[in-house]
Amino acid sequence: GAVVSQHPSRVICKSGTSVKIECRSLDFQATTMFWYRQFPKQSLMLMATSNEGSKATYEQGVEKDKFLINHASLTLSTLTVTSAHPEDSSFYICSASGRRAYNEQFFGPGTRLTVL
Amino acid sequence: QKEVEQNSGPLSVPEGAIASLNCTYSDRGSQSFFWYRQYSGKSPELIMSIYSNGDKEDGRFTAQLNKASQYVSLLIRDSQPSDSATYLCAVPNTGFQKLVFGTGTRLLVSP
């Protein structure tokens, strides 16, 4: 149990295009989903927290107009990187919680984004 | 702001030995604690959760919690080369929404 999937696992795009990443909780209802970014050899960086049916809460320094998050259902959240640039190239990871009393977070496998 | 601290390592142990990973946290009110394992290039995987003082065992893994001293540790018995990874300690912030992660300890198990 507690499986989270992400799609796509890898994406390469041209500068200026938008990329959508999907995160799904497969066997539980995720009341809260989180989006992280991780650069090589660096720590996880939380970008935003989203609760189903509500607007996402972004961390300081994360541009909400550039990283659009939608959490339309208890099993699906999407992150859209708008007008992507090479500096947005990173490993994007979602996580989901809601399955247990102490709200453990279960991570998806991640999406590696390369912007040319 | 809660803080979670870990030694970045690397912690090097020979195959078959016990690896001991430590984590301290700043918020005395913290109630739950998590250990994640992250292989290079992969996402974190939850391996242990602990909520009460004392030890919790799961296979080769034992989590130890001491709330009075504000530390939580992870012991890996019979370490294997496949255990080589970064181990992240995490504590939920107030409201149990976000997790505050330590910087992680890199474990290297040599054959």
Residues 20-79 of A with CB under 8 A from B: 32, 34, 43-44, 46, 49
Please list, in sequence order, all residues whose beta carbon lies within 8 angstroms of the beta carbon of residue B3, skipping any fewer than 6 positions away.
Answer: B25, B26, B100
pLDDT tens-place string over residues B39-96: 999 999 999 999 999 999 999 999 999 999 999 999 999 999 999 999 999 998 876 6
> Could B96 and A44 be called an inter-chain contact, meaning their C-beta atoms sit closer than 8 Å?
no
Question: A93 and B43: CB-CB below 8 Å?
Answer: yes
Contact across the interface for A102 and B92, Cβ inside 8 Å = yes
CA distance B27 to B40: 30
| Chain A residue with minimum CA distance to B48 | A104
DSSP code string of A3-69: -EEEE-SEEEE-TT--EEEEEEESSS--SEEEEEEE-TTS--EEEEEEETTSPPEEPTT--TTTEEE
Residue A75: the pLDDT is 92
Nearest CA in chain A to B100: A46
Give the integer Cα–Cα distance in Å for B28 and B34.
16
Beta-bridged to residue A63, according to DSSP, are none
Cβ contact A93:A5 at 8 Å: no
Closest residue in B to A106 (Cα) is B46
In a structure prediction context, what are the per-residue pLDDT tens digits for chain A, which is 116 residues long? 689 999 999 999 999 999 999 999 998 888 899 999 999 989 999 999 998 888 899 999 999 999 999 988 989 999 999 999 999 999 999 999 986 666 789 999 999 999 99
Query: Residue B4: which pLDDT band, with cuts at 50, 70 and 90?
Result: very high
Please tell me the distance in Å from B61's CA to the nearest CA on chain A: 18
- Closest-CA distance, B94 to chain A, in angstroms, reads 12
Q: What is residue B2's predicted lDDT score, i.e. its pLDDT? A: 67
At A2 the pLDDT is 87
Distance between CA atoms of residues A85 and A101, nearest Å:
40
Say yes or no to pLDDT of B111 above 70. yes
Choose among B93, B94, B95, B59: nearest CA to B74. B59
Across-strand partners of A5?
A24
Contact of A59 with A115, CB cutoff 8 Å: no
The residue in chain B having the minimum alpha-carbon distance to the alpha carbon of residue A45 is B101
With contacts defined as CB-CB under 8 Å, which chain A residues touch B49? 102, 104
Query: What tens digit of pLDDT does each residue of B9-44 get?
Result: 999 999 999 999 999 999 888 889 999 999 999 999
| Mutation target among A6, A34, A107 for the B interface, most CBs of B within 10 A | A107
